[in-house]
């Protein structure tokens, strides 16, 4: 991030305190930061703290005759190489989506030609409101990249999506957007559940949220690994900079993965349904008579992980599978490692008590042929970054070895 010009817009939400830490992270990474606070933003963090941390004076007024003698809002827009709105309030997303410019922050945004990223933060019901979702969709289609929000407990006591991402997660997204040097490595990551159609209105699926796989794809991309994310149906919006191929069923995911090859790395994080109906019913199935039981004949889905790990010519150099288990975690994971012929298994307990499916944290054990390594509980983002670091050094060491051998 050395010398990159980042303009931070801080809106009026509880999460504004996290933006102070974000400024510290950005500056530690070498970026030059200027900030604009909305009038509400100033009620949550003081201009004095923001200006002390950015090392730049702060001016929040649009109709300021001194600053605007040089067209201050246009100058700021020209100066910025990237604008980050954090926290982005429901109100400010609405102003942005409508292209309004009632204050300095929104006027700068309207005048800017650089990329814009938003880290939304709001109460779960504000987030889920159709108006907010409409604004969000409009902004995403205008090219604004959303970072989060995350799901979790809120300051108001509610629980759900709407919490602003932690500063290190925002920093990671900013680094990815700002273009880290390409490593020349390529990766395919699957994430989310699959959905197997029963009839036009019903389907079989599972509780996977896609959060862990999306975080892994983002962490790999942030390291300069060209990553394709193959994503099953999920409510989480992946970062816009990730190349994402959306699929529904296991068969579609299988095809998409094989079409995306070759790659140096394959991470199979998706919770792929094991079974499907051979042919989904054309019309909605009706209850007939008074039957008390009902049987569906299910057929085995293609095994995506094994089909890639057992490839002869096109096999990625590193194949990493996930084992989601509710009992005998290590025994089942070791069996999976051998039977699927992959290089590593990331084993995680997804029993109801673990809170892993859909939750913010994960506790995993990494298994290879030689080793079993227990990792401490981490957020899914932390786990993704740690795993991406381990993967990169393994692939890079392998490449050095290849070169020495060659």
Ligand X SMILES: Cc1cc2nc3c(=O)[nH]c(=O)nc-3n(C[C@H](O)[C@H](O)[C@H](O)COP(=O)(O)O)c2cc1C
**CA-CA-CA-CA torsion sign (24, 26, 30, 33):** negative
Other Cβ atoms within 10 Å of 202 Cβ, number = 13
In degrees, to the nearest 5, what angle opens at C-alpha 213 toward C-alphas 145 and 88?
Answer: 25
Nearer to ligand X, 13 or 316 (CB): 13
Chain positions contacting ligand X, by CB under 6 A: 11-15, 38, 40-41, 89-92, 121-122, 126
Contact 180, 222 (CB under 8 A): yes
In degrees, to the nearest 5, what angle opens at C-alpha 163 toward C-alphas 138 and 95?
Answer: 35
CB of 110 to ligand X, least distance (A): 14
CB of 240 to ligand X, least distance (A): 21
Nearer to ligand X, 132 or 392 (CB): 132
What CA–CA distance (Å, rounded) separates 362 from 375? 9
CB of 367 to ligand X, least distance (A): 41
Nearer to ligand X, 150 or 264 (CB): 150
Nearer to ligand X, 89 or 209 (CB): 89
Contact 122, 74 (CB under 8 A): no
CB of 96 to ligand X, least distance (A): 10
> Which amino acids are annotated catalytic?
156
Residues 6+ apart with CB under 8 A from 399: none
Contact 170, 161 (CB under 8 A): no
Contact 272, 253 (CB under 8 A): yes
What does the buried/exposed string (b/e) look like for 273-283 if buried means 16 or more CB atoms within 10 Å of the residue's CB?
A: beebbeeeeee
CB of 148 to ligand X, least distance (A): 13
Q: Helix or strand or coil: residue 351?
A: coil
Nearer to ligand X, 121 or 265 (CB): 121
Nearer to ligand X, 110 or 285 (CB): 110
CB of 78 to ligand X, least distance (A): 23
What does the buried/exposed string (b/e) look like for 247-259 if buried means 16 or more CB atoms within 10 Å of the residue's CB?
A: bbbbbbbbebbee
Contact 118, 146 (CB under 8 A): yes
């Amino acid at each position: 991030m050395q010398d990159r010009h980042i303009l931070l817009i801080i809106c009026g939400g509880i999460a504004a305190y996290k933006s102070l830490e974000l400024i510290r992270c950005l500056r530690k990474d070498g970026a030059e930061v200027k900030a604009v606070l909305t009038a509400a933003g100033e009620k949550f963090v003081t201009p004095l703290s923001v200006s002390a941390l950015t090392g730049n004076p702060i001016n929040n007024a649009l109709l300021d005759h001194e600053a605007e003698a040089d067209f201050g809002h246009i100058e700021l827009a020209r100066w910025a190489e990237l604008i980050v709105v954090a926290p982005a309030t429901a109100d400010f997303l609405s102003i942005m989506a409508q292209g309004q410019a009632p204050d300095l922050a929104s006027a700068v945004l309207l005048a800017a030609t650089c990329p814009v990223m938003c880290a939304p933060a709001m109460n779960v019901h504000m987030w889920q409101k159709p108006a907010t979702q409409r604004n969000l969709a409009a902004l995403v289609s205008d090219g604004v990249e959303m970072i989060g929000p995350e799901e979790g407990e809120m300051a108001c006591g509610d629980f759900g999506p709407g919490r602003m991402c932690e500063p290190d997660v925002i920093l990671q997204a900013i680094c990815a957007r700002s273009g880290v040097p390409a490593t020349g490595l390529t990766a395919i990551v699957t994430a989310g559940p699959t959905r197997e159609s029963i009839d036009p209105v019903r389907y079989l699926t599972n509780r996977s949220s896609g959060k862990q796989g999306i975080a892994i794809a983002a962490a790999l991309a942030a390291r300069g690994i060209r990553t394709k994310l193959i994503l099953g149906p999920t409510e989480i919006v992946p970062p816009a900079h990730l190349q994402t191929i959306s699929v529904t069923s296991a068969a579609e995911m299988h095809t998409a993965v094989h079409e995306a090859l070759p790659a140096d790395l394959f991470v199979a994080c998706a919770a792929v349904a094991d079974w499907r109906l051979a042919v989904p019913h054309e019309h909605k199935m009706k209850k007939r008579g008074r039957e008390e039981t009902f049987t569906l004949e299910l057929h085995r889905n293609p095994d995506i992980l094994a089909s890639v790990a057992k490839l002869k010519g096109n096999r990625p150099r590193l194949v990493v599978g996930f084992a989601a288990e509710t009992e005998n975690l290590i025994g089942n994971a070791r069996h999976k490692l051998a039977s699927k012929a992959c290089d590593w298994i990331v084993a995680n307990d997804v029993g109801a008590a673990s809170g892993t499916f859909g939750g913010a944290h994960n506790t995993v054990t990494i298994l290879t042929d030689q080793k079993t390594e227990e990792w401490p509980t981490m957020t899914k983002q932390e786990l993704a970054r740690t795993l991406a670091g381990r993967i990169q050094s393994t692939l890079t060491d392998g490449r050095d070895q290849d070169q020495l051998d060659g």
